[in-house]
Structure 1
Amino acid sequence: MKITEIKIYAIRLPLFEPFVISYHTYPDMPSVIVKMVTDEGIVGYGEAVPDEHITGETWEGVFHILKNSIGPVLIGKNPMEIEKIHELMDKTIYSAPAAKAAIDIACFDIIGKKLQQPVYQLIGGRYHDEFPITHVLSIAPPEKMAAEAAQMVEKGYRSFKMKVGTNVKVDIECIKAVRAQVGPDIAIRVDVNQGWKTSAATLTAVKQLEDYQIDWIEQPVTGDDIDAMVEVKSKTTIPLMIDEGLKGTREMREIIQKRAADKVNIKLMKCGGIYPAVKLAHQAELAEMECQVGSMVESSIGSAAGFHVAFSKKVITSVELTGPLKFSKDIGNLAYDVPYIRLSETPGLGVEVNEEILKELTVFQDVVR
């Protein structure tokens, strides 16, 4: 089997409401969709959702990398030879993890369809039957976050991921307001997205949160400052999760060696796709470190890819892949059974792509042959 064509679509996914985190407000979500075609007529879809602050890529840049760098070297190659595919991409361009993830995901979609198996059966087999879905509260005033949390509890949600990181004092007020609203039995995870920056500021915050039953605090300090995470971890009883500080195997090795976190957040867009994500999960398992598969707010395609990784690994104990629930219009049909996600046995990613909606949301496109 050979890759004969790679179609590239730069799209913007419309959100029900703006998504606000510590370093940016997203009125919609820029994404790049890959449609990979083989000489056997099998079609696979992939997705890249880059982030200038995390992956170092832009929406426009990923499009051009796929069109001019990665795409041309893959024409004529076998998508089932995933190790070689990654070697070719790595030789062609340094880093560019979201761009590579789009190719990796499309290849796995093709492999699954070729073998008539869901992707999770290709990377270890199904381990989890279901995952509870965590509702993400984007940054807002304390009363608004608390009110939204109350509404979601009524819909059945039992866990929240709170986005904070603009101001320590306000952040603390928001967390306290949500806890007061939902009571002691609802899980609250706090995602700072590097917003507290230093270990000193973080320690000031965590000392005020130790009585509020926080599941974990995610990436409070600057992503590259692993040593700051080590310091915070040594001085708090609240579990710490690394997100932006974990990109690939090198960072994972340092995190393990320094015991810099209790948990790690694996994202396909940071590490380069399904195949590298599995490698990270294996590293974490060797260190007896729990993992989460997180989201860059992808469509059904990228979200499904993350779920397949999560469902196949015992060491992955939580997921935060809620992009499709935030979009007023999506290109795929990934189905949630809120507040749970349960994957089907459909071959490949298990996602049907609506070509009409894909065309409607496309800003610009091209093809590599």
Structure 2
Amino acid sequence: MKLEKIELFAIELPLKVPFIVSYHRYDVMPSVIVKMTTECGLVGYGEAVADEHVTGESLESTISVIRHLLGPLLIGRNPMHLERIHDEMDRAIRDVPAAKAALDIACHDLIGKKLGQPIYELLGGRYHDAFPVTHVLSIGEPEAMAAEASEQVGEDYTAVKMKVGVDVASDVRRVAAVRQAVGPDVPIRVDVNQGWVNAAKTLQAMRKLEPFDIDWVEQPVKADDFEGMLEVKGKISVPLMIDEGVRGVADMRRLTMMQAAHKVNVKLMKCGGIYPAKKLVHMAEMSGIECQIGSMVESSIASSAGFHVAFSSKIVQSVELTGPLRFATDVGNLTYDLPFIRLNDRPGLGVDVDEDVLRRLTTDYYEVGGADHVAR
């Protein structure tokens, strides 16, 4: 089995409502869909959702690096040779994890389809039967966030994750409003996305949030401030999760050596795909650090890839892969049995990609291994 052609679709996924975090507002979600075709006619799909603030990539840079460097590198290769593929991609260019993730996911989709197995069977087999799906609240006014949380809990969501990180005073008001709206028994997770900047502001915020029984707090300080994370961890009673601070093996090694957080949010877009994500999960497990599999608000393609990692990993205790629920139109058909997600047993990713929808959402198109560029 050899790769014959790689197609790149630059798309804009329409959001039902804007998604707002501490560092950006998204009205649509830019994404790069990769379609790989082998000499024997098998087709696999991957996805890259780049984020300048987290992965250091943009949609344009992702297309360029796949089109001119990584794509040509993979043409003629066997997608099953994942260790070699990742080694050669890493030798060709540092970082660019979302670009590498798109190719990695498509390779896994091809392998699963070739062997007639879902991807989770290739990663150690299914361990979990289902995961509860947490509703994610983007940043808004306290009253609006409270109303949305109450509505979603009424629709049987079992937990709420709040995006905060504007300033301590207004963030405390947001959490207080949501806690009052959902009652004392619904878990509330608080994701700061680095917005409190340092340990001092974080400790100030956490003292004020003590009455509201937070389930955990995520990445309150700057991504590379492991010392700040460690200080916060030692002075609060709430579990601490690191996200943007862990991108690859070097960051995970630093985390495990310092024990700077109780939990880690592993994302395929940050680390380069399914294959490296599984390595990070194993590293965390050996150090007793609990894992979550998260996302950059991805379509059914990359969301499904993340679920395969989660379902095959004992140490993964939560998931946050809700992109398909946020889109007015999606390119795939990943289905949720709300408030849970359960994977099917179809080969590869287990999702169908609607080529008509994909083309309708496409703003630019490229080929590697065929005709080079067709702009739309």
Same fold flag (TM > 0.5) = yes
User: How far off its partner does 1:328 sit?
Assistant: 0.1
Is the counterpart of residue 299 in structure 1 residue 304 in structure 2? no
Poorly superposed stretches of 4+, deviation over 2 Å: none
Query: Aligned runs of 1:1-369 on 2, under 5 Å?
Result: 1-369=1-369
Cα distance in 2 between the residues matched to 1:321 and 1:352: 18
What CA distance in whole angstroms lies between the structure 1 residues aligned with 2:172 and 2:314? Answer: 33
Distance across 2 between alignment mates of 1:88 and 1:13: 31
Q: Residue 295 of structure 1: CA displacement?
A: 1.0
Q: 1:17-54: per-residue Cα shift (whole Å, max 9, x none)?
A: 10000000000000000000001111000000010000
Name the CA distance, whole Å, in 2 between partners of 1:258 and 1:103.
Answer: 32
Corresponding letter in the other structure for 1:66: I
Structure 2 CA distance for aligned equivalents of residues 69 and 245 of structure 1: 27
Q: Which amino acid aligns with 1:330?
A: D
SS at match of 2:365: strand
2-side partners of 1:132 and 1:339: how far apart?
Answer: 6
* 1:17 counterpart SS class: strand
Q: Deviations over 1:295-324 (max 9, x none)?
A: 100000000000000000000000000000
Q: What letter matches 2:3 in structure 1?
A: I
> How much does 1:130 deviate?
0.3
Give the secondary-structure state (helix, strand or coil) at the position aligned to 2:212.
coil
CA–CA distance in structure 2, aligned partners of residues 191 and 13 of structure 1:
23
Deviation digits for residues 150-172 of structure 1, max 9, x if unmatched? 10011100101100001110000
CA shift, 1:211, in A, is 2.5
1:287, 1:210 → 2: CA distance?
28
Alpha-carbon displacement from aligned partner over 1:139-186 (angstroms, at most 9, x marks no partner): 000000000001001110010110000111000000011001101110
Aligned residue for 1:11, secondary structure, equals strand
2-side partners of 1:275 and 1:160: how far apart?
29
1:253, 1:68 → 2: CA distance? 32
Q: Take 1:78 and 1:229, find their aligned partners in 2: how far apart are those partners?
A: 42
Determine the C-alpha separation between the residues in 1 that align with 2:92 and 2:9.
Answer: 21
TM-score (normalizing by structure 2): 0.98
Aligned to 1:146, what secondary structure does the other structure show?
helix
Q: Within 1, Cα distance between the matches of 2:213 and 2:41?
A: 53
Per-residue Cα deviation, 1:93-141 (whole angstroms, up to 9, x for no partner): 1100000000000000000000000000000100000000000000000
SS in 2 for 1:79: coil
Distance 1:157 1:42 in 2: 38
Gaps of 5+ in 2: 370-376
DSSP-derived class of the 2:56 partner: coil
2:305 aligns to what SS in structure 1?
helix
- Aligned to 2:15, the other structure's residue is in SS state strand
Please, what TM-score do these two structures have when normalized by structure 1?
0.99
Q: Distance in 2 between matches of 1:12 and 1:314?
A: 34
Q: Secondary structure at the match of 2:215?
A: strand
Structure 1, unaligned runs of 5 or more:
none
- Secondary structure of residue in 1 paired with 2:210: coil
1:209 positional shift: 1.3
Q: Secondary structure at the match of 2:227?
A: helix
What secondary structure, in the 3-state scheme, does the structure 2 residue paired with 1:10 have?
Answer: strand
1:148, 1:278 → 2: CA distance? 34
Write the distance in 2 (CA, Å) between the matches of 1:56 and 1:221: 18
Tell me how far apart the structure 2 counterparts of residues 344 and 21 of structure 1 sit (CA, whole Å): 32
Code of the aligned partner of 1:313: S
User: Residues of 1 paired with 2:187 and 2:124: CA distance?
Assistant: 29
Q: Partner letter of residue 244 of structure 2?
A: E
Tell me the distance in 2 between the aligned counterparts of 1:296 and 1:205.
Answer: 26
**Separation in structure 2 between the aligned mates of residue 239 and residue 206 of structure 1, nearest angstrom:** 11
Secondary structure at 2:222 match in 1: coil
Counterpart Cα distance in 1 of 2:155 and 2:176: 21
Identity %: 60
CA distance in 2, matches of 1:308, 1:8: 23
